Amino acid sequence: MSELIDSLVKKARVAQEQIEFWSQEKVDEMVAAVGWEVYKLEHAEACARLAADETEMGIYEHKLNKHRKKTLAR
| Amino acid 73: pLDDT | 67
pLDDT tens digits, residue range 8-26? 999 999 999 999 999 999 9
- In angstroms and rounded to an integer, the radius of gyration of the C-alpha atoms of the chain is 15
Strand ranges in 10-61 using DSSP code E only, listed in sequence order: none
User: Are residues 11 and 5 in contact, defined by beta-carbon separation less than 8 angstroms?
Assistant: no
**Mean predicted confidence (pLDDT) in 24-42:** 91
In angstroms, how far is the first alpha carbon of the chain from the final one? 34
Mean confidence (pLDDT) of the chain: 90
